Amino acid sequence: MPRSFGTWLVIGGIVLVVIGLLANSGLMSWFGLLPGDIRIERDSVRFYFPFVSMIVVSVVLSLVVYLVGVLEVIRCAGTIDSGVRLFASRGDGAWSR
pLDDT, tens digit (0-9, with 9 covering 90-100), for 7-39:
888 988 998 999 889 888 888 777 778 898 898
| Domain limits, the chain | 5-82
Query: Which residue type occupies 20?
Result: G
- Report phi then psi at 49, rounded to 5: -135, 95
Give the closest residue to 64 by CA, choosing from 33, 18, 6: 18
Please report the pLDDT score of residue 57 as a whole number: 86
pLDDT, tens digit (0-9, with 9 covering 90-100), for 34-81:
898 898 999 999 998 988 989 998 998 899 888 888 877 777 766 555
Whole-prediction pTM value? 0.57
